[in-house]
Amino acid sequence: MTTIQHHPDDELLLAHAAGSLDRGHSVVVASHVENCAHCRERMRVFEAVGGALLDELPAATMAPDALARTMAAIDTPPAPRAMPAPVPAPHPVLPPGMTWPRSLAGCPATRWRWLGPGMRWSRVTLPDDPAANVFLLRIGAGKNLPMHTHSDSELTQVLYGTFHDGRALFGPGDFDEADGSFHHQPVVQAGGECICLASVRGRVLFNGLVARTLGALVGM
């Protein structure tokens, strides 16, 4: 059984629990929490604390007819309508043993597109926030992304495989947060390819003209 070594910090989990995290970063955090018992327990604690704080707030004044209007709405039957059968959102072909994150249910993703030798990517669209910069990276064994930093922040969840970026080893289920405070170069380990889900605020700032050009072409 794989042991998860790297988790979102409390600030990210609190923002996710409170619903104040932007949509792109939220789906990456959710993809980690759905497979991490440790972080699910932390989320339960944060949500319980939030509920207790709400209980301590002064009661809000309601309109005199609020109860009557609520009861009338409950008693009014909804108009019948035909519900279309749900259509599964398309996503790229995954390697055997890898499952699509539940946090991306209903989020279409493109086929795998060429990014460089041994590297492919897929754009993920969030229906409730189409502008969110969310994508999958699929990097072959022994390959690496160019050295880079970030203008703002990037959250990464490892879905499959293993990489090392000079700071630490990240395996299946591990989570990473990167910003402009350091440069790093993720290198996929020799045992097999690696697939990650990432959300980027701002831009990925690659070293080198060719890397910057490719990054701009895919919107990183």
pLDDT digit string (tens) for 47-101? 887 555 445 556 667 677 767 777 777 777 766 666 665 667 789 999 998 999 9
For residues 54 and 141, give the distance between their C-alpha atoms in angstroms, rounded to a whole number. 49
pLDDT score of 81:
67
pLDDT score of 5:
96
Please tell me the total count of domains within the chain: 2
Residue 152 C-beta-side C-alpha neighbours within 13 Å: 9
Q: pLDDT tier at 46 (50, 70, 90 boundaries)? A: confident
pLDDT at 29 over 60: yes
- Which DSSP helix (H) or strand (E) runs through 120? strand 119-124
Q: Count other Cβ atoms within 10 Å, centred on residue 131.
A: 9
One domain, residues 33 and 117: no
DSSP tally for the chain: helices H, then strands E: 5, 11
Are the C-beta atoms of residues 155 and 175 closer than 8 Å to each other?
yes
Amino acid at 176: D
Q: Does a structural domain hold residue 214?
A: yes
Q: For residues 188 and 68, which has the higher predicted lDDT (pLDDT)?
A: 188
Are the C-beta atoms of residues 116 and 214 closer than 8 Å to each other?
yes
Interval 92-118: pLDDT, tens: 999 998 999 999 999 999 999 998 899
pLDDT score of 101:
95
pLDDT score of 171:
96
Q: Does a structural domain hold residue 2?
A: no
Q: Does a structural domain hold residue 23?
A: yes
Domain that holds residue 24: 10-55
Instruction: Give the residue from 176, 21, 199, 13 showing the smallest Cα distance to 123.
Output: 199
pLDDT score of 172:
96
pLDDT at 165 over 80: yes
Q: What percent of the chain shows pLDDT beyond 70?
A: 85
In the sheet with 175-179, reading across from the earlier edge strand, the strands are 113-116, 119-124, 134-139, 194-201, 153-160, 175-179
Q: For residues 8 and 115, which has the higher predicted lDDT (pLDDT)?
A: 8
Q: Does a structural domain hold residue 145?
A: yes
Instruction: Give the residue from 186, 40, 168 showing the smallest Cα distance to 103.
Output: 40
Q: Does a structural domain hold residue 83?
A: no
One domain, residues 48 and 121: no
For residues 141 and 155, give the distance between their C-alpha atoms in angstroms, rounded to a whole number. 22
- Which DSSP helix (H) or strand (E) runs through 115? strand 113-116
Q: Count other Cβ atoms within 10 Å, centred on residue 52.
A: 9
For residues 59 and 61, give the distance between their C-alpha atoms in angstroms, rounded to a whole number. 7
